[in-house]
Structure 1
Amino acid sequence: MLKTFPKGGIHPPENKITSTKSIKRMPTPKVVYVPISQHIGIPAEITVNVKDKVEIGQVIAKSSGFVSSNIHSPVSGTVTKLDKIIDTSGYKKQCIVIRTDIKDEANFEDIEYPLKKDISLEPKDILQKINESGIVGLGGATFPSHVKLSIKEGAKLDCLIINGVECEPYLTADHRLMLEKTEEIIVGIKILMFALHIDMAIIGIENNKKNAIEVFKNLTTKEKGIKVAALKVKYPQGGEKQLVRAILNREVPKNGLPLDVGVIVHNVGTIFAIYQAIQYNKPLTERVVTITGKKLENASNYWVKIGTPIKDLVDEVGGLPEGTRKIVNGGPMMGKAIKNLDVPVTKGTSGILVIHEDEASRGEQKNCIRCGECVDVCPMGLEPHLLMNLTEKGKYDDASNEDIMTCIECGSCSYICPSHRPLLDYIRFGKNIVKKLNTSKN
C-alpha cells in the first residue's frame, strides 16, 4: 500500500505535460537582473559597484546575518546598475543589473561535469561550503540550507528525507532532474549523510513518477542506508510536515520543525546543488525551471541562469499564445501571478505557468453554504472558512488564536470550495497582518 499523510488533501488534475521533456539549456541572456533577497531572512549586502567587472560565480552580495544567503553572479560581465525592480513577489526589491560578456560565457557553457563520487571534505567543511555557495531550499521555500543543517548540540537527528514529490500540478523540473542526474543526487545524499553523521536517508517520490522510483530503486539497492518510498498521489504530499508523517509516521509539532522529530527534509534540487558545490566548487547560479501551459508551442524544462528575465523563457517556447490571461510564478495551487515578463528568475523559481483565459476565470463568489469541504481537505486540520471570516472582519487576534499561522498556504480550501470563495487570499493577508502584529509586540 502506498504511503501518504492521513489528514485532508486533494487530487487536482496533474497536467504534467512536460514530464517527458528533457532539460535543455536556456541561452545566456544579454542582461541579468539579480535580486539580493532570494531567500527567507535578511537581504544580502551588495559587494560590487556600478562599472565593476564580475566573473561567473563571484560573490556580488554577501550574507548579512545567520538567516541570510550569499548571492553569486550567474554570468561574466559588467555591473551596469544597482536599482530596485519588481521581483516575483510583486514588490520592488534591490537588484544588481549585469550586462553579460557573451564571449566569456561561451567558455563556461562548454564545461562538462563528470560524475564524482569520492567525498574529500570533512563534515564541518561541507557545511561551510554549502554556506559559501549560497544554497537555499529549491522546492520553493528558499530557506538557507546552511541554517537548516546547523544542528544544535544535543538535538537527536536520525533521518534525512529527500523530497522528490513535486505534487504541484504542471511542474516537472524535479522529475526531470531525478531522471537525468540520478547518480549525482545519490552522491549528494551521501555527502549530507556524512556531514550530519546519520545512517538513514529516504527518497520520497509520488507514484505518478514510476520511472524515477524505478531508477532510484535500481541505483540504491547496494547503497547502505538509502531507501526509496513510493507515495500515493495526493496534494500537498510535498509539504514537509505531510511528508514526514507519510514516510515515518512522525507528527511534527504544530509550531515545530521536522528537526523536532529527528528529521531534516531537503528537496532533490537542493541536493543536486549541494553535490555541485561540494564536488565542483560551483555556487548556486542556475536552476531547472519548467515553462509550461496547455497552449504553449514548446513547453519544456530548462537550465536557467538566476536573473534571466521571464520574457526570455516565454520567447524560447514560442511566445505568449493568443488568449493568455495569467502568468504564474510556480504552479497553479501555490504560485503567484506576476505583473509583467520583465520579472527575473530567482533561486525559488521552480516553474512559469502560462494560463489561457479558458482556465483562468474564477467562478462567481457566493455566500458560504457551511458544507465543511474546506475543513475536510485542510491538511493542517484548520477551519479555512472561519479564518477567512475573521480576517475579513479584522479580528486578527482571534485569527491568531485559531492557528492561522500554521496554514501552509497549499490552496486546497480555495480549490474545493463550491461557493468559489477566495479563502487562501484572505488567509494569506491575515497571516501577514498577524506576523506584523507579533513582531511589533516583541
Structure 2
Amino acid sequence: MTSPELWQKWSAARVWAAHHAPYLASALLSLHPVMITDAAADLRRFPTDQRWHVYVGAEELARQTVPEVGFWLIHQVTHLLREHARRYPGMSAPEEQRTWNLAADAEINDDLTARPPDATTPARLGLPDGCTAEQYWHALQETRDTPGDCGSGCDGLPRAWDHDLPGLSPTAARLTALDTARRIRERLNAQDDVPAGWLRWAGEVLEPAVSWRRHLSAKVRHGLAQAAGRVDYTYRRPSRRAAALPGVVLPSLRRPLPSVTVLIDTSGSITEAMLAQALAEVTGVLRAVGIGRRLLAVITCDARAYRPQNIGRVSDVRLDGGGGTDLRAGFAAALARRPPPDLIIALTDGRTPWPHRPPATRVIVALLDATGQAPEWAETVQVEGAS
C-alpha cells in the first residue's frame, strides 16, 4: 500500500511538470499511474506503455526529488506523443532496444531543461543537437552506453511489469497529440518559449493545413452564427428603453448561445484515424467560439445510438460501437434531446441510410470517405486525407 505522502509527492511532481511545460499539461493529465511492487523491475525512469500507463515504484518515488520525478514525467509523455514505439526500427534484440532508447532519449532531452545527471543527451553521446531519433539510431550502432528503461512506450516491446488495464485508446492518444500540438502553437503566439523540437513536432502533427479544415471551420462558424442570430424577449433583464417609459416594464432581447450535438459514426468501416482527425477539428472550432461542456453533446452511433456524452476534453470521448451503420438512429437521438440542438455535426464515411426528411435543425456532414454519400439537405465538407 502506497502512503498518502508518496501520492502527494506524485501529484506535486505532475504539477511541477505542467508548470515547466504548460503546453504538455493535458497530456500529463492523461497519464495513468500504476504502482509496481516488483523489486527487480527497472523503474528509475517511471516507464510507460502504449496505453499511457506510467509504472511507479514506491522506492523510486521516495528516493527521487519532486523535480526529478517531474522531469521523467515530461520525458515519458514525450515518448508517447512522438510515437517512438511506432517508429522503433529494430527487432526484439536487447542491444537494439537499448540503442533505440538512447536515440529516442537524445531526441527528447536536447529540448528539456533541469535534467537529472543520468539523463541521456546528444552531447553525452558525442552527437549534435536537433536530430531525430532515427538519425541518432544510425549513428549509435556501435555504442555500449546503457540507458535506463523507458518501457514499451518507447519501443512497443512488452515488459514484465506491463499491466493489461484500461488506458488511452489509439484514438484518444491521437486526440491528445492534436490538442497538445494546438497548445504549442497557441503558446508560441503568446510567448516565444517553446523549444525548437516541439515546434517541429507540432508542425508535423498539424500540417499540411489543407483546405478542408478552413472549409469545415467556416461551415461550423456560419451555422453557429445563424443559430445565435435567433433572439427572444426576456424579463430577466430590464430593457434599455425602460427609462423612456416610467412605470412600464419592457422586456429586453436575449441572444442565446446555440447548443451543438456532434454525431459520430462508430461503425466498423470507420478508422480511428478518421475520427481523431475530424473530431479534433470540430471540437477545436467549437471551443474557439465558446461552445463548452454545457452546450456540447457527443452521440456515438453504429446501428443504434449510444448515451449522449458531455465532454471536457476531446480525449474524454468514449467511442462506443463498431457494428453496422444507421445514422438515422443517431439523428433521432439528437433530436429527442430537450431542448433539441441548434446544430448537428455528423462525422461519417457516408455509408449509411439517411433520414428521408431534413431535420428541423441545421446539419453539417463531415464526410470522411470520398466514396461516401451525404444527403442534399445537409451542408457537406469532404475531409481530405482521413481515409
TM-score range, shorter-chain basis? under 0.3
**RCO higher in structure (CA 8 A, sep ≥6):** 1
TM-score with structure 2 setting the length: 0.25
- Greater strand share, 1 or 2? 1
Higher helix share: 2
* TM-score, normalised by the number of residues in structure 1: 0.23
Larger radius of gyration: 2
